[in-house]
Structure 1
Amino acid sequence: MGATETRQQIVEAADQLFYENGFEATSFADISKAVGLSRGNFYYHFKTKDEILDAVIALRIANTQAMLDEWEEAASQPAERIRSFVHILIMNKTKIMAHGCPVGTLSNELAKLDHVAKDDAVKLFILFREWLARQFIALGRKADADKLAMHVLMRSQGVATLATAFRDEDFIRREVEDIHAWLDAHCPAAAEASQPNPRQHA
């Protein structure tokens, strides 16, 4: 395995451990053990845990951007793209119930630690916020697009937090349906887009 592949493996392992155990509770030894590297070989790629954290945040941002781009290509209607975001709660329900939202948990932990990378972690939320706002603009809600985007983010984070606390899958599904209903109520264009086209059934 080349140096680039090894480095990527380290970052992916650290990403998983930071999510499951937390950044502060994860040690160099934990990451090197997960990857199967000696300490010497490990230090060749990363000298400090903060360097790994920077790489993990960069990986998450790149993966999130790729996911948003995929949603853009897969759905022609902005309402369907927003629903794709909300549906993450169901797609990742098992992980969320076990460990919470990866974006929220990392941001909260780094904020509590007053870590220098806390603002970088928030960039993941900013990425979602700006993307959601663009979808609401496309739905004709330019004046309050950011407010609506923040509401969707708030709802999704609240659901993730309570899902972790209560481990209730039905709760997640009910809340996702409620967010869909909220979207239809606040954006008539979204409700129209969700209705079947009569011509398709003629």
Structure 2
Amino acid sequence: MAKKGDERREAIAAAAADLFWRCSFAGSSIGDIARAAGVPQGNMFYYYKTKADIALAVADIFLSETSALVAEAANVSTEAEERCRFLLRRLQQSNRSRMERGCPISLAVRDFRDGAPDASARAAESFTRLMEFLAGEFGRSGQRPSQALSHARSLIAEWQGGIALAHAFSDMTILAESFRRMDATLGRAFSGNQPG
């Protein structure tokens, strides 16, 4: 019975993640989530007490997926540059959906802030996880910790800015250009020519 309950909770969280991405947190009701998950609305209370609890479960999905991606990148090679390039290639695989709908993580951070602040903070941890990984890899190339973190932040800012503009203009070229700049930044960082 517990396994079925866990499966229902996962189905609800997955349905909510998609709805929040397409329709926003405020624009998705408990009834909408229940219908999308195939759960009677009256039973939702058994799985999640509040909509904020559902938002927290969605943020946990983002954090879990990001952590898995970082772990995969960490194990792909013994070379720091190759680990970073692998991470960028994996992020790039979602370009189409990001261009069409924006970044689900940044939308969650923004949309959850008022009604589910704990979920907003949890979703933001996904960005922290990415930046910590990149900063660690830059540190292996000999950069000072503050410099490594600054370069990691600039990569994530480039990615998120590219998503925002590509989504605003429905133009995949903008996001492709962002990834080319990110790739060039990595090349400079690992060749020792990165401006300080």
TM-score, scaled relative to structure 1:
0.85
1:150 aligns with 2:150: no
* 2:170 aligned partner: 167
Amino acid of the structure 1 residue aligned with 2:68: A
CA deviation digits over 1:127-173, x for unaligned, max 9? 11111111111122134111111111111111010110112122222
* 1:199 aligned partner: none
Structure 2 unaligned regions, length at least 5 = none
Structure 1 unaligned regions, length at least 5 = 192-202
Amino acid of the structure 1 residue aligned with 2:28: T
Larger Rg: 1
Q: CA deviation at 1:115?
A: 4.2
Note the 1:28-43 alignment, pairs <5 A. 28-43=30-45
Q: SS of 1:2's equivalent?
A: helix
Q: Indicate the RMSD between aligned Cα atoms, in angstroms.
A: 2.1
Percent identical = 27
Change (3 A) 1:33 1:89: same
Note the 1:86-165 alignment, pairs <5 A. 86-111=88-113, 113=114, 115-117=116-118, 118-143=120-145, 144-165=147-168
Change (3 A) 1:180 1:49: same
Q: CA deviation at 1:89?
A: 4.8
Structure of higher RCO (CA pairs closer than 8 Å, 6+ residues apart)? 1
Q: CA deviation at 1:190?
A: 9.7
TM-score, scaled relative to structure 2:
0.88
Instruction: Give the whole-Å Cα distance in 1 for the aligned partners of 2:40 and 2:111.
Output: 28
* Contact 1:89–1:96 (Cα < 8 Å) also in 2: no
CA deviation digits over 1:56-86, x for unaligned, max 9? 1112111210111011112322212222333
Instruction: Give the whole-Å Cα distance in 2 for the aligned partners of 1:151 and 1:184.
Output: 14
Q: CA deviation at 1:14?
A: 0.9
Query: After TM superposition, where is structure 1 displaced by more than 6 Å over at least 4 residues in a row?
Result: none
* Contact 1:14–1:52 (Cα < 8 Å) also in 2: yes
Instruction: Give the whole-Å Cα distance in 2 for the aligned partners of 1:52 and 1:63.
Output: 17
2:187 to 184, 187, 197: 184
